[in-house]
Structure 1
Amino acid sequence: KPYFSLPQPLHLLLGSHARCGVVAAALAVTCYWNSLECGLVHDDIFAIRDNADVRPGTPLASAFSDDFWGKPMSSNVSHKSYRPLTILSFRANYALHGLEPCGYHAANVGLHAVVTVMVGWLCRRLVFPEPDLTFLVMCLFASHPVHTEAVTGVVGRAELLSSVCFLISLISYTTSLSHSPYQQTLRVLVSILLGGVAMLFKETGATVFGVCLAYDLLVHSRLQLLRCLVKRTSPVFPTLSPLLLRSLSLLLTSTLLLITRVLLLHGNLPRFSDHDNPASFSPLVLTRALTYSYLYFFNARLLTFPLTLCYDWQMGSIPLVETLADTRNTGTLLFFIFLLSLSISSLFRFSSRKTSSRGVLLSLLVMVVPFLPASNLLFRVGFVVAERVLYIPSIGYCILLVQGVKTISLRLRPLPHPPTASPLPPSPRAPRSHLPLFLLVLLLVGLFSVRTVVRNSVWTSRESLFRSGLATVPHNAKIHYNYANYLSDSGRLDEAAHHYYQALRLAPDHASSHNNLGSLPGLDLHEAEFHFREAVRYNPTHYRALYNLGNNLLNQGRLEEAEKALRESLRVNGEYHGSLMTLATILTDTGRGQEGLRLMERAVGVAPSDTLVRNNMAALLLRQGRVEEAIREYQYSLSLDPTQTTAMNNLARAYRSRGENSNAEHWLLQSLGVSQDIDTLISLGALYFNTGRYPEAAQVFSRALDLQPHHLESQCSFVQSLIQLRQEEEAEAEARAALDRHSHAPCLHLSLATLLSKNNSRLQEAVHHSKLALEAEDVQSRAEASLILAVVLKDLGQLDKAEDSYRQAIALSPNMLNAHMNLGALLHIRKKYAEARVYYEKALSLHPGNRLVTENLAKLNRVHKQGSSAL
């Protein structure tokens, strides 16, 4: 056999490029089929779920003015990654099925299958005319485990789409070299166009121009360059003018794209910390050089032995190489010796009649040039190792591996017969078997496939991804931090705190760990303040930590310090709507309502489609008495997201403030249609109770108790409703049963005091429960307890104490009608007529036309007249 080929049955089955492509694409889909069960995890959350540019309500143009994460490119907190066409692909997914993850993953799997077929196309046109070898390259690429981050992680779509354009551009350019000048021009223009499009999917797509230029110089035109510039056997200009034109077009295009990309930075480079890329922040040149060199070897090792994979290699996952004595330098040295030997031998052995050297050179170019942006040689990057950036370089690796297989197969050709003088023809020699070699390659593809399927399961959820990272690199503080974030979001606060502390043990200066630890619910305010201040100390531009510090100080009542922290947060990022909203609230509370309103309007301008911003704007308007405008804001917020129950509940409150109870009821019922929330049930029950619809109120409070049987507010409200329905026995039973769990609940004691005050034989019990109800925290409840106590004391004949209790009730609630009316009647009985008149008149001012008060005043007037006549 002149070269490696598949066993005969497979060769007959897969003997054409088309059939090979179909089988390889099927393998790609099979390897990633279980990724369809994965969710949106890690960076997917920020790039898709939380990215307003993915939503249909955001203008399409925003995708071209914002970075990959939805922040304006002009912002000084922007990540500066510019991939607008990838964002539009996410937007197309969202338009079809919202945030359902399966569709996003299906698109990625389909794109991976397309790239696999195109890799075969590239091999067929440039390296392996034999379908057997092309098939092996496609199978290795389709199943390689290092691709899981790019394929199973949805944000890896940037790599996939960029690769599609990269490959078409490369194929178009390289095939143009063997066409007529007209066809060549067209194909080069297509290549340039697709290279530009690849860059809009991901910036590294532009490296295709470097691959094209290097291939042209080192492979296609190398012999011409040697004849013209070294041997001088050919005229320079006529021979090299097509090459010069092609090279100039590529260089000019690359320069224009580079200038455009720099302009998109708006004068601000992305900000990275030493945690993102420790080597790049080392002050020692030797450390940087040794570590970078080792990282190149590490990436090559990931391609060759993809056993240990991790979604994040930052923050100490790979310790710095600081001395020449570090044993890791041995692997680095051997890697560079191999790479240089391979490159030099291919260059010196190259001839147009051989494809082996061409295959090696092409594979090296595809491995090295697209990796350069991630190498730290051109600029600092924000990661140590990222498996997704190996997606295109792995094409070169697969070509190189199969080229090695082909080279070995050539060594296994039948040996030539020695010369002989015999007139008889020599007997044919049996070819050496290629089956063991085939089985080894097949075994490698099988191992790759199994590893890929297993690795996909890691991306099923945030928890599985982060737990896998902890198992792989437990000394990575960033993974502890990410896992703590997940635990915090899941309500597992103690575990979250543990992993935040672990992250800080490994990296005490990690500002975000301090910030998020301080943000945990239930943490002592002073401890939280310490962590926020530590976050700001280690990263003075951490605007979220400044925002959280401001909120913390606000909760401590330190308004001036809170305002200072929030203003500093806005100095760092003037478009952070959280700081704008909180500062607006402080200004409103301190009598600077107009300035507060202007800040809230800024927040709306920054995030016009953010429902939280709209709701806060409406709340501020409501506090300023601008109810109609507040209602419009709530309605607009609901037009952005018709399922947000918070806006529905707040809109109901706004309508209640205007006395429009039917509209309030409508929105509370709408909210309950979305979610059976206990707070919404309580609001609806209170609406029914306050409008005298006691049967409906009791029914709603009963539903609330079905959700949370021991919810204190629901129990108290249910008992009050039963009292109004005159179901005293049931009300008392409910109250006493609730007291078994909430023995010091003032609202339950108040309800029992109300019930018992109606029974003369149980007045002492009523006094006991009234006094316990006086321990209530809110003033109105204490006023009601004082009123009931006064009524009971009056019935017991303890008039002095009753009078004192009435006065206490009025002091607590100056506009309590019954307290004024009853105190007036008590003073009337005790012949304190002048004082009685004062309280009667106050009661009448609170309730003009009150029949009882009017009659008592008339009696008081008659007594006054009789007294005057007697004089």
Structure 2
Amino acid sequence: MISGNSRVSVVGCCLLISLLGVLIFANHLNNPFQFDSVPYITNNINLKNPETLLTPEFWQQEFLERGLLRMSMALNVQLDGFEPIGYHILNLGLHILNALLLFFVLEKTFRRFGLHAIGWEDQRIRTVSFFASVLFLCHPIQTESVIYIISRSEVMASTFYLLGLFMFQQLLERPATSRPQYCFYILIIFLIALLGFSAKQTVATLPAIMLLYYFCPANSPAWPFLKKWKWAIGGVLSAVVGLLFYKLFTDETFLIGPSRAEEMVGRAKYMLSQPGVIVFYYIKKLLFPINLNIDPDIEVVTTFLSLNFLISVLVIILLLVGSLKIFKNRFVFFFLCWFFIILSPSSSIVTLHDLAAEHRVYLASAGIFILLACVVSEFTHKTRSPQTVLIVYILIGVFGVLTIKRNTVWKSELSLWQDTYSKSPHKIRPLINLARAYSLEGETEKAIKYYQESLIQSPFVFATNYNLGDLYLKKGLEPDAIRHFLLASRIEPEVPESFAKLGEIYLSQKKFQLADTYFKRAVELNPHYSLVFKNLGVVNYYHLNNPKQGLAYFSRSLTLDPNQPEAEKIRQLLVINQYR
């Protein structure tokens, strides 16, 4: 394949990439919403009226809160409601588009770095670009980004990232560019990057990749400028990096991810752990994609003297320095930098809740796949044996089969968390989510068993206590339910549902004053809680001899939810009392 004589057309490559994408990922299109996709999509009250999100005003207001991503979810709701297949099709479409964009970007990159000068003909460049794009398309590590719907942020941001880089390549390849044309290209690239940034802030690294693309080739016209101003440029960069790290280590909340600061392992420990995550988890999984895991159990590094930290930093330094010394055209160095730079926001300065997540390596992985494709190309080009070409097909086939198999793990909450728990048995989240999955399947006893196990590891988790209370309530074990709901309300006192559940229990026990107290607390926290307003109406109108207040609560409940199951009874009650 790599050194064959048949001419590979651009159209043929694009069609084959698209077909492979559909074949490899087709078995996941009916998978349900999983993990964070449930609260962010199906339980998201803002998506009940999607048209309010599909406006320029919303994008402007929520620009830094991944506004474009949320608009894409609203578009799915507008087109097909909450049917998962529409969301999966859009994710897959973007993934295939990214593989196509990568194919075109790679062809241009090979030529810019002068691979023609070392004997790479056009056909070989195109074929290696195609092979690298197919690896990016079908590698099993991409399943989390493609199938996990809320990871659309990674896939969508990558579309704009690659499109912006492609436009920059087009600009550099123009034989002559007038000032208006130059400004037009820069404006288009800026707008593309702006859209991508509103999907995920990974796009903030695009300027670094474009600068590296411009300056890195040995024949770049920018080298005289760099040599002349190297001390000034180095001084400015050192000052910026120094100020950034000073801010990072003096303000624990600076540049944290979507989790709260108190949920973190701490910035110093996070940054010390990341070199090991990159070398011993991400690169390892890219080369040997087995035992993939949505919630990997990563060792936290606490000191600079840790072997994990020292060895991984040494490996990274050797890779970068070695690539500069050995490969004079700096092509290998560029794609290693591609990998590290794109990965850098989530694996260095931005502290996140999880030390590792496979979707973070989505676009960064292309740097490794390109180098892998080049290694295979060199091997097949030197041997010129038909048997070596077979290796390429086997590699793509193995990756495709592993991806299809990994897709099936996501077919249900239960299969996903059984797989995760088997690989991370000491982490609390897989245990809690496995319990929840059994609960959704109606296996209450197994759910209670796993929730109780999770309480042994971590007794003060809100979700565990709330869900366990709910299960005990369904089994009629009200004292146990009250105990866990009370604990849940103390762990997260800003969540109204715990107080609402306590109110319902005390209402059923005819402890009306207690029920009234807890219901009032729930609506204080959520003034739009129609069900609780209805329950307040029941307590006050029928049991606390406060009919006027009870009617007010009924009226408020009806205003908030005019289509609730007992809406007609409430209307009749309000009408009857209107004439008294």
Of 401, 414, 424 in structure 2, the residue corresponding to residue 463 of structure 1 is 414
Of 106, 109, 114 in structure 2, the residue corresponding to residue 126 of structure 1 is 109
Once the two structures are superposed, residues 420-450 of structure 1 have per-residue CA deviations (whole angstroms, 9 ceiling, x without a partner) of xxxxxxxxxxxx4365654444333222111
Percent identity over the alignment is: 23
| Residues 170 and 212, structure 1, Cα contact 8 Å, conserved in 2 | yes
- Aligned residue for 2:276? 294
Distance 2:337 2:551 in 1: 58
For residue 469 of structure 1, report the CA deviation from its aligned partner. 1.8
SS in 2 for 1:177: helix
Distance 1:517 1:111 in 2: 39
| Residues 82 and 203, structure 1, Cα contact 8 Å, conserved in 2 | no
2:380 pairs with 1:398: no
Point out the more displaced range, 338-347 or 134-143: 338-347
Distance 1:594 1:207 in 2: 61
Over 3 Å counting, the alpha-carbon distance change for 1:45 and 1:347 in structure 2 is: same
- Aligned residue for 1:6? 2
| Residues 144 and 359, structure 2, Cα contact 8 Å, conserved in 1 | yes
Distance 2:531 2:341 in 1: 42
- Aligned residue for 1:817? none
Of 481, 505, 512 in structure 2, the residue corresponding to residue 528 of structure 1 is 481
Amino acid across the alignment from 2:354? F
For residue 622 of structure 1, report the CA deviation from its aligned partner. 4.1
Once the two structures are superposed, residues 841-869 of structure 1 have per-residue CA deviations (whole angstroms, 9 ceiling, x without a partner) of xxxxxxxxxxxxxxxxxxxxxxxxxxxxx
2:340 pairs with 1:368: yes
Point out the more displaced range, 26-35 or 170-179: 170-179
Over 3 Å counting, the alpha-carbon distance change for 1:187 and 1:346 in structure 2 is: farther
- Aligned residue for 2:32? 39
Choose between structure 1 and 2 for higher RCO, CA contacts under 8 A separated by at least 6 residues: 2
Distance 1:577 1:212 in 2: 52
| Residues 73 and 87, structure 2, Cα contact 8 Å, conserved in 1 | yes
2:331 pairs with 1:358: yes
Amino acid across the alignment from 2:333? V
Over 3 Å counting, the alpha-carbon distance change for 1:488 and 1:92 in structure 2 is: same
| Residues 477 and 502, structure 1, Cα contact 8 Å, conserved in 2 | no
SS in 2 for 1:375: helix
- Aligned residue for 2:132? 137
Query: How do 1:165-564 residues align onto structure 2 when only pairs under 5 Å count?
Result: 165-179=160-174, 180-182=177-179, 183-218=181-216, 222-230=222-230, 272=260, 277=264, 279-280=265-266, 285=268, 287-297=269-279, 298-313=281-296, 317-322=297-302, 329-330=307-308, 332-347=309-324, 354=329, 357-361=330-334, 363-375=335-347, 377-378=349-350, 380-406=351-377, 412=382, 432-433=383-384, 435=386, 438-520=389-471, 521-564=474-517
Amino acid across the alignment from 2:300? L
For residue 273 of structure 1, report the CA deviation from its aligned partner. 7.2
For residue 591 of structure 1, report the CA deviation from its aligned partner. 4.6
For residue 6 of structure 1, report the CA deviation from its aligned partner. 1.8
Amino acid across the alignment from 1:311? I
| Residues 25 and 142, structure 1, Cα contact 8 Å, conserved in 2 | no
Distance 1:222 1:499 in 2: 61
Over 3 Å counting, the alpha-carbon distance change for 1:19 and 1:579 in structure 2 is: same
Point out the more displaced range, 102-111 or 140-149: 102-111
Over 3 Å counting, the alpha-carbon distance change for 1:181 and 1:231 in structure 2 is: farther
Point out the more displaced range, 514-523 or 367-376: 367-376
- Aligned residue for 2:72? 89
Distance 2:210 2:310 in 1: 29
SS in 2 for 1:32: helix
Once the two structures are superposed, residues 508-535 of structure 1 have per-residue CA deviations (whole angstroms, 9 ceiling, x without a partner) of 2222101110011114211111112222
Point out the more displaced range, 500-509 or 179-188: 179-188
- Aligned residue for 2:246? none
Distance 2:64 2:512 in 1: 38
For residue 89 of structure 1, report the CA deviation from its aligned partner. 3.3
Of 23, 46, 49 in structure 1, the residue corresponding to residue 42 of structure 2 is 49
| Residues 154 and 360, structure 2, Cα contact 8 Å, conserved in 1 | yes
2:541 pairs with 1:590: no
| Residues 126 and 359, structure 1, Cα contact 8 Å, conserved in 2 | no
Q: Which segments of 5 or more consecutive residues in structure 2 lack a partner in the other structure? A: 112-121, 241-252
Over 3 Å counting, the alpha-carbon distance change for 1:230 and 1:155 in structure 2 is: closer
For residue 618 of structure 1, report the CA deviation from its aligned partner. 5.5
Amino acid across the alignment from 1:320? V
2:102 pairs with 1:151: no
Distance 2:44 2:259 in 1: 20
Over 3 Å counting, the alpha-carbon distance change for 1:136 and 1:271 in structure 2 is: closer
| Residues 3 and 384, structure 2, Cα contact 8 Å, conserved in 1 | no
Once the two structures are superposed, residues 745-788 of structure 1 have per-residue CA deviations (whole angstroms, 9 ceiling, x without a partner) of xxxxxxxxxxxxxxxxxxxxxxxxxxxxxxxxxxxxxxxxxxxx
| Residues 360 and 400, structure 1, Cα contact 8 Å, conserved in 2 | no
For residue 131 of structure 1, report the CA deviation from its aligned partner. 0.8
Distance 1:107 1:17 in 2: 24
For residue 126 of structure 1, report the CA deviation from its aligned partner. 1.2
For residue 137 of structure 1, report the CA deviation from its aligned partner. 0.5
Residues paired across the two proteins, number: 541
| Residues 525 and 556, structure 1, Cα contact 8 Å, conserved in 2 | no
RMSD: 3.9
For residue 26 of structure 1, report the CA deviation from its aligned partner. 1.9
Once the two structures are superposed, residues 36-59 of structure 1 have per-residue CA deviations (whole angstroms, 9 ceiling, x without a partner) of 242333333333333344456753
| Residues 195 and 209, structure 1, Cα contact 8 Å, conserved in 2 | no
Over 3 Å counting, the alpha-carbon distance change for 1:449 and 1:59 in structure 2 is: same
Over 3 Å counting, the alpha-carbon distance change for 1:339 and 1:585 in structure 2 is: farther
Once the two structures are superposed, residues 75-123 of structure 1 have per-residue CA deviations (whole angstroms, 9 ceiling, x without a partner) of xxxxx98333334434444444444333332332222221111110110
| Residues 120 and 138, structure 1, Cα contact 8 Å, conserved in 2 | yes
Query: How do 1:758-773 residues align onto structure 2 when only pairs under 5 Å count?
Result: none
SS in 1 for 2:465: helix
| Residues 271 and 349, structure 2, Cα contact 8 Å, conserved in 1 | no
Amino acid across the alignment from 2:266? S
Once the two structures are superposed, residues 107-158 of structure 1 have per-residue CA deviations (whole angstroms, 9 ceiling, x without a partner) of 3222222111111011011126511210110111111111111112233333
Distance 2:516 2:215 in 1: 62
Amino acid across the alignment from 1:29? V
Over 3 Å counting, the alpha-carbon distance change for 1:66 and 1:117 in structure 2 is: closer
Point out the more displaced range, 104-113 or 205-214: 205-214
Distance 2:204 2:556 in 1: 38
Over 3 Å counting, the alpha-carbon distance change for 1:26 and 1:65 in structure 2 is: same
Amino acid across the alignment from 2:227? R
For residue 451 of structure 1, report the CA deviation from its aligned partner. 0.7
Query: How do 1:7-22 residues align onto structure 2 when only pairs under 5 Å count?
Result: 7-8=3-4, 11-12=5-6, 15-22=8-15
Over 3 Å counting, the alpha-carbon distance change for 1:574 and 1:228 in structure 2 is: farther
Distance 2:338 2:555 in 1: 51
**Structure whose alpha-carbon radius of gyration is higher:** 1
Of 97, 103, 108 in structure 2, the residue corresponding to residue 114 of structure 1 is 97
Distance 2:310 2:461 in 1: 34
- Aligned residue for 1:105? 88
| Residues 204 and 370, structure 1, Cα contact 8 Å, conserved in 2 | yes
Distance 2:300 2:445 in 1: 33
Distance 2:66 2:355 in 1: 21
SS in 2 for 1:509: coil
Distance 1:127 1:226 in 2: 23
Distance 2:532 2:257 in 1: 24
Amino acid across the alignment from 2:315? F
Distance 2:196 2:43 in 1: 25
Amino acid across the alignment from 2:199? F
Over 3 Å counting, the alpha-carbon distance change for 1:86 and 1:322 in structure 2 is: closer
Amino acid across the alignment from 2:200? K
